[in-house]
Amino acid sequence: MSQHRPAKPKLFDPAILGPAAKNAFVKLDPRQLLRNPVIFVTEVVAAMVTLLFVRDLIADPAGAAFSGQIAAWLWFTVLFATFAEAVAEGRGRAQADSLKRTRSNLSARRVGANGAEEEVPATMLKVGDVVVVEAGELIPGDGEVVEGVASVNESAVTGESAPVIREAGGDRSAVTGGTQVLSDRLRIRITTPPGASFVDRMIALIEGAERQKTPNEIALSILLSGLTLVFLIVVATVWGLAGYSGTLVSVTVLAALLVTLIPTTIGGLLSAIGIAGMDRLVRFNVIATSGRAVEAAGDVDTLLLDKTGTITFGNRMATDFIPAPGVTPRQLAEAALLASLSDETPEGRSIAALATGEFGLSVPKTPVDATVPFTAQTRLSGVDMGAHRLRKGAVDAILKFAGVQQNQTPVEFSQAVDQIARAGGTPLGVADGNRLLGVIHLKDVVKPGIKERFAALRAMGIRTVMVTGDNPVTAAAIASEAGVDDFLAQATPEDKLAYIRKEQQGGRLIAMCGDGTNDAPALAQADVGVAMQTGTQAAREAANMVDLDSSPTKLIEIVEIGKQLLMTRGSLTTFSIANDVAKYFAIIPALFVATYPALGGLNIMGLASPQSAILSAVIFNALIIIALIPLALKGVAYRPAGAAALLRRNLFIYGLGGLLLPFAGIKVIDMAVSSLHLV
């Protein structure tokens, strides 16, 4: 899990709710609502019933109380829907504002063709302009370092306070607008026009101004619009059907029937769910350049994961001591500990840690005559203590030190060495003078918990593929230890690209992360490409997401967020549709019971009167939107499990729950309505 997982934001922050309440009214503008056909229809119907209410006020004051209340609740239905969207946007905007603040009033020192510098506002910069930034200044836009090395504080974007090094050439050349140069001086070529940098794009995405519907959202909107049309037909024809028996159905009641039947719940919450999904991603410090990518993340079948940093810690660590014949493990550990005292490399420290941890050894107080520090030339380290000349190091270096010929090494010693090499590890020899004490097993240590994580992914139907530059033997060993489904050994960027293409041919969606320029083609080819914030500009441009934490494990969380977004949509759609059953049973008997008293038999909820039944159904329909806003913003509970288990669970909660809840809800509201004598 990411250490940057932010504190959960409060669901109902007054600072967000206030403006949201105001925006909810602004969003009533029919031109804006046209984007959401279900709520648009609701608004039209609400306006119509309001007119009927006005007519009733003049012509039939006794009936006005009913039509007035229906009209009011229809307007509430619309308002609750716009409010949900406004709250989601408000939460996103709060996040975006902090980013934005860093970007206002930036000015740049542009280097002209003649080499002279001129001061221009950052908004005037064009792609290809070269600017100079010195210590203490803010970088005016996204770009690439063309000259110089500097430490840069990127906390404004990443939240990480430790400065990072940015230098020309290589994989650390990309800089982000709004970050601060702490030391030295950089010449930067601007690579994105102002307003199009990925921070700008992200702000646009969460603010909703340029929010475009994602493919799945479009498909769902079509379903919801289709259902709305179906119910329009159903309700419009009730007129004629009832006319057959001479019943004149009131338009107010038909309006109420229509609004309760069309999927207002999911229609009202759909955009909020989408915005909240993007927002959730941002809270994980991931910026997506399109909503499409977030959805695709939920569909991913295969994850390409870099070994180093994701699956293993990246440093080889000592995991075992294998003593030579006649040597106890404790003796070997002692010798290894002493020989490693002067080795400050991570490997050396891990040997000391293993010796002190496993055998409870402590660094002896015995005076040391001389230390031999580790160097790349000797490839060994050690100490001289009296008669003992303890050394540890690469096996051939140790053999040379001990003066033992390859063919004279004890069988057990060479067997241990072979075994470790075959298992993908690195053997280190330990010697005391010309006596071989044993072998230390160094290996690439798989991060704890990662195997369980992969098992969970497998349960979700996602294959994990480890990508590594190691030889196939080492790769296979680590792959089996980490529990990945496949691995790419000695992988070149071309290999990655070929692998992605092959998987995509088979109908699978691939996610990968990368940071180098040579990763760019693969990032662009992958369905979900996540670039590291520390990566090159080329990589960031090719990817459709950027991870500000530069944490390779983030890919797993991104997939989960994508899945949660889709699940929330599906669950609320199912809930919304299942709700209709109860509403039919509330309104249909109420509609016709005057003509056919026998139809009272359909009033299985025992609602007090036709009018209270209709009003209660409308009130339930409005209140359920408000009640579900928190769920829409948080997303439904997600746990990694197979599709069958997820389906069973969600179908039970949102399908069966959606079927039964409104029966109880409408009954309770009806009791309140009738006891308050509202109708």
Window 197-256: residues binding other proteins (CB under 8 A) = 215-216, 218-220, 222-223, 225-227, 229-231, 233-245
Q: Toward other proteins, which CB reaches closer, 104 or 505?
A: 505
Is 367 buried (19+), middle (13-18) or exposed (0-12) by CB count in 10 A?
Answer: exposed
**598 touching other proteins, by CB under 8 A:** yes
**295 touching other proteins, by CB under 8 A:** yes
Q: Is 377 annotated as a binding-site member?
A: yes
Q: Is 347 annotated as a binding-site member?
A: yes
Closest by alpha carbon to 426, among 394, 401, 402, 398? Answer: 394
Q: Is 375 annotated as a binding-site member?
A: yes
**456 touching other proteins, by CB under 8 A:** no
Q: Toward other proteins, which CB reaches closer, 23 or 573?
A: 573
Treating both helix axes as pointing N-terminal to C-terminal, what angle do 610-634 and 554-592 enclose, rounded to 10 degrees? 180
Q: In a 3-state reduction of DSSP, which class is residue 367?
A: coil
Q: What b/e sequence results for 571-610 when a residue is b if at least 16 CB atoms lie within 10 Å of its CB, and e otherwise?
A: bbbbbbbbbbebbebbbbbbbbbeeeeeeeebbebebbeb
Size, binding site for other proteins by CB under 8 A: 77
What distance in Å separates the CA atoms of residue 668 and residue 664, rounded to the nearest whole number?
Answer: 6
Contact positions with other proteins (CB under 8 A) in 257-276: 257
Shortest reach from residue 245's CB to other proteins, in Å: 7
Sheet holding 164-167, edge to edge: 164-167, 149-153, 180-181
Show the tokens assigned to 613: 């039944």
Shortest reach from residue 241's CB to other proteins, in Å: 5
Q: Toward other proteins, which CB reaches closer, 82 or 564?
A: 564
Shortest reach from residue 296's CB to other proteins, in Å: 8
Q: Toward other proteins, which CB reaches closer, 101 or 639?
A: 639
Evaluated on CA atoms 173, 174, 177, 182, the torsion sign reads negative
Q: Which amino acid is at 96?
A: A
Shortest reach from residue 596's CB to other proteins, in Å: 5
Contact positions with other proteins (CB under 8 A) in 657-676: none
Report the residue from 651, 660, 671, 678 that binds other proteins according to the rule CB under 8 A: 651
Q: Is 379 annotated as a binding-site member?
A: yes
Shortest reach from residue 652's CB to other proteins, in Å: 10
Q: Toward other proteins, which CB reaches closer, 330 or 451?
A: 451
Q: Is 381 annotated as a binding-site member?
A: yes
Q: Toward other proteins, which CB reaches closer, 45 or 122?
A: 45
Contact positions with other proteins (CB under 8 A) in 89-108: none
Q: Is 343 annotated as a binding-site member?
A: yes
Cα–Cα distances in Å, from 401 out to 382, 395, 601, 661?
11, 10, 99, 80
Q: Is 13 annotated as a binding-site member?
A: no
Contact positions with other proteins (CB under 8 A) in 494-533: 505-508
Q: Is 409 annotated as a binding-site member?
A: no
Q: In a 3-state reduction of DSSP, which class is residue 286?
A: strand
Q: Toward other proteins, which CB reaches closer, 130 or 566?
A: 566
Q: Toward other proteins, which CB reaches closer, 241 or 664?
A: 241
Q: Catalogue the E-assigned strands of 64-167.
A: 107-111, 117-121, 130-134, 143-147, 149-153, 164-167
**Other Cβ atoms closer than 10 A to 7:** 6
Report the residue from 195, 326, 601, 630 that binds other proteins according to the rule CB under 8 A: 601
**599 touching other proteins, by CB under 8 A:** yes
Chain CA centroid to CA 184, Å: 35
**606 touching other proteins, by CB under 8 A:** no
Contact positions with other proteins (CB under 8 A) in 296-335: 298-299, 301
Report the residue from 16, 311, 355, 462 that binds other proteins according to the rule CB under 8 A: 462
Q: Toward other proteins, which CB reaches closer, 285 or 650?
A: 650
Shortest reach from residue 211's CB to other proteins, in Å: 17
The H-or-E segment that residue 486 falls in is strand 486-488
Per CB under 8 A, the segment of 291-299, 306-314, 316-324, 330-338 that binds other proteins is 291-299
End-to-end, the C-alpha distance of the chain in Å comes to 55
Per CB under 8 A, the segment of 133-141, 169-177, 440-448, 644-652 that binds other proteins is 644-652
Contact positions with other proteins (CB under 8 A) in 359-378: none
Cβ contact 181:150 at 8 Å: yes
**584 touching other proteins, by CB under 8 A:** yes
The residue behind tokens 């994990």 is 464
**602 touching other proteins, by CB under 8 A:** yes
Q: Is 66 annotated as a binding-site member?
A: no
What distance in Å separates the CA atoms of residue 637 and residue 55, rounded to the nearest whole number?
Answer: 47
The residue behind tokens 């109380």 is 65
**156 touching other proteins, by CB under 8 A:** no
Evaluated on CA atoms 603, 606, 610, 615, the torsion sign reads negative
**646 touching other proteins, by CB under 8 A:** yes
What distance in Å separates the CA atoms of residue 250 and residue 632, rounded to the nearest whole number?
Answer: 35
Show the tokens assigned to 677: 């004598």
Q: Is 107 annotated as a binding-site member?
A: no
Q: Is 645 annotated as a binding-site member?
A: no
Q: Is 374 annotated as a binding-site member?
A: yes
Shortest reach from residue 223's CB to other proteins, in Å: 5
Shortest reach from residue 586's CB to other proteins, in Å: 12
What distance in Å separates the CA atoms of residue 250 and residue 605, rounded to the nearest whole number?
Answer: 22
Rg over CA atoms, the chain: 34
Q: In a 3-state reduction of DSSP, which class is residue 444?
A: strand
What distance in Å separates the CA atoms of residue 407 and residue 502, rounded to the nearest whole number?
Answer: 47
Shortest reach from residue 554's CB to other proteins, in Å: 18
What are the catalytic residues?
Answer: 306
Contact positions with other proteins (CB under 8 A) in 564-583: 564, 566-567, 569-571, 573-574, 577-578, 580-581
Shortest reach from residue 563's CB to other proteins, in Å: 3
Q: Toward other proteins, which CB reaches closer, 247 or 308?
A: 247
Closest by alpha carbon to 342, among 369, 372, 363? Answer: 372
Sequence-separated (6 or more) residues with CB below 8 Å from residue 357: none
Binding site feature residues for Mg(2+): 515, 519
Binding site feature residues for ATP: 343, 347, 374-381, 392
Binding site feature residues: 343, 347, 374-381, 392, 515, 519
